[in-house]
Amino acid sequence: QVQLVESGGGSVQAGGSLRLSCAQSGYIHSSYCMGWFRQAPGKEREGVAVVCPGGLNTLIADSVKGRFTVSRDKSYVLYLEMTSLKPEDTAMYYCAATPPRSAGFGSYYLQPKEFAFWGQGIQVIVSS
């Protein structure tokens, strides 16, 4: 059983920064990919950033590229550094984890359906 708990959300003005963290309990194997997803009201959940084992196995959605950075420490705590926030970044942000897929690393990992375990989510509100 994998449990994921997000923290660090809140309200910020446009142009500001936030850092989200995702702590895990249970069993996450070193081979698992972890990622951040978000869902705005009335919209589908979308991938924001994913990190898989290996030096350069990181995906960042085009909508946040250059502004958001994803990282994971040795304790499998996942981080999302968000800078230059925009009102359109307002959403519920979710942490997720999944065993690796046999197809290998690829952009498909930005699809929510590829992830098996989910946190409860945390709200991020960016005001203009």
pLDDT digits (tens, 9 = 90+) for 16-66: 999 999 999 888 888 899 999 999 999 999 999 999 987 669 999 999 999
What pLDDT shows up at residue 54? 72
Inform me whether the pLDDT recorded for 12 exceeds 90: yes
Among the listed residues 124, 110, 120, 121, the one whose alpha carbon sits nearest the alpha carbon of residue 34: 110
Q: In the structure encoding, which two tokens stand for residue 44, read together?
A: 């589908």
Q: pLDDT tens digit string along 78-123?
A: 999 999 999 999 999 999 999 988 888 899 999 999 999 999 999 9
- Find the mean pLDDT for residues 1-10: 94
What pLDDT shows up at residue 21? 98
> CB-based contacts of 18: which residues, under 8 Å, 6+ apart?
8, 9, 10, 12, 82, 85, 124
What pLDDT shows up at residue 64? 98
What pLDDT shows up at residue 30? 85
